[in-house]
Amino acid sequence: MKSQNTFSILFWADNSSSKSSKALLYARITVNQKRANISLKRHISYKLWDAKAKKVKGNTADARQINMYLNEVYTRLFQIYKDLIYKEEIVTAQLIKSIYTGETVFSKTLMDLIAYHKNQFKNTLSPGTIVNYGITENYLKRFLKASRKANDIYLKHLNYEFLCDFVAYLKNYWPENHPRQISNNTVMKHVQRLRKMVTLAYHMEWIDRDPFVKWKSVFEKREREFLSNIELQKMEDYQFAIDRLERVKDLFLFSCYTGISYIDLIKLTQDNLVRGIDGTTWIVTNRQKSNTRVKIPLFGMAESLINKYNNHPMSVVSGTLFPQITNEKLNFYLKEVALAVGIKKHLTFHMARHTFATTVTLSNGVPIETVSKLLGHKKIATTQIYARVLEDKISADVNQLRQQLSKKRQARNLKKGNG
């Protein structure tokens, strides 16, 4: 059974805060004895206000104009009330006021959404992902200022054109102290983050439609670089006289033989080393990026590197398996390592993970399902980007096929000769 609402609208003039004889007009909404006042932003002489009739006295042009405005306000407020009743909403005086003044969810802005998303997911997203969302936010602010001459935009004004303009802006933007413009794939990443936030707004009914529903991100396919067997062996054999570079090399090699990313590797402790079902030492940890649990058996090289730094002063102080170093410094020093070893590729720490997936595991016949588990991927489709066919594998397979065909040909010739 529907409950009955008591509803009323009245106008009043307030001169309590005025030092002059002027009074500010208000509309008072009352629903079920709960009130909400709306400033009508109209001033009149307090002497001209008819408190009983709730209107301006007299028949002057100004009086008629203000009284007509009061009638319009009354009609608008009453219509809002009737619409809420029709929609079977829970009617409150504050809700009617919010709709009248435009302060409902339909007036939420892009910056409101970004702030909400930041606060809502600050404890669930990884630090790196939070940083990336911050970068996207900064680009959106620059874009709004450059193309819309504004600091914000209402969500209801977002449309397909806005997204196209944002993409065009990013593709033509040249970051300060950067060797080149933003790449297409980086642009698409910024668009993905914006879309995720806008989709969140749509699900929360802050907007009544998804303005980007027809948008399709287009990523350029890029080969993920990795070290070949020869390059990996060259790095293993090289001994650095500088301890700093030797530690960087060892961390990189450890990732090459375990597939562990920097953020997970740098936090490893003795507690992450367990005895596996095969009696050997395994690493058991949770990936920070996805919170996926991974279990990785240690190869000889990886285990020897752990032993190498077991009593290292820097490891002892941090209580971790390896000495601590920031990701920025690690990637910076890897350039020196590559130069010294003679590797011409643009060496980054994440390339070690690619090397593990491609050169160490898949190229040696490890099934992709197993590699996916070792990498901590939730979907095997993510692992398939590494499932490339290497030239030496092609050569080996073709040689094997060549031998088989040769044997069949010899067998046929032998059969013909005997015939």
Task: Tell me, yes or no, whether 192 and 238 share the same domain.
Answer: no
Q: What is the pLDDT of residues 345-373, one digit of tens each?
A: 989 999 999 999 988 998 888 888 998 88
Task: Tell me, yes or no, whether 292 and 175 share the same domain.
Answer: no
Q: What is the pLDDT of residues 146-172, one digit of tens each?
A: 998 999 998 888 999 999 999 999 999
Q: Give, for 36, the enclosing helix (H) or strand (E).
A: strand 34-45
Q: Is residue 87 assigned to a domain?
A: yes
CA-based Rg of the chain, rounded to a whole angstrom? 34
Is the pLDDT at 391 greater than 80, yes or no? no
Look at the chain and report how many structural domains it folds into: 3
- pLDDT at residue 100 in the model: 86
Q: What is the pLDDT of residues 211-243, one digit of tens each?
A: 988 888 887 776 678 999 999 999 999 999 999
CA distances from 373 to 277, 284, 365 (A): 16, 12, 15
Q: Which residue reads 């009983």 in tokens?
A: 52
312: amino acid identity, one letter: H
The two three-digit tokens of residue 117, written as one number: 């998303």
Task: Tell me, yes or no, whether 234 and 312 share the same domain.
Answer: yes
Task: Tell me, yes or no, whether 266 and 333 share the same domain.
Answer: yes
Is the pLDDT at 196 greater than 60, yes or no? yes
Task: Tell me, yes or no, whether 38 and 156 share the same domain.
Answer: no
CA distances from 104 to 117, 156, 201, 253, 341 (A): 18, 12, 13, 56, 62
Q: Is residue 90 assigned to a domain?
A: yes
Task: Tell me, yes or no, whether 271 and 311 share the same domain.
Answer: yes
Strands (E), 289-367: 293-297
Closest to 194 (Cα-Cα) out of 147, 127, 148, 144:
144
Beta-ladder partners of 55: 50
Helix, strand or coil, per DSSP, at residue 55: strand
Is the pLDDT at 291 greater than 70, yes or no? yes
Helix, strand or coil, per DSSP, at residue 210: coil
Q: Listing from the earlier edge strand, what are the strands of the sheet with 273-275?
A: 273-275, 281-286, 293-297
pTM: 0.59
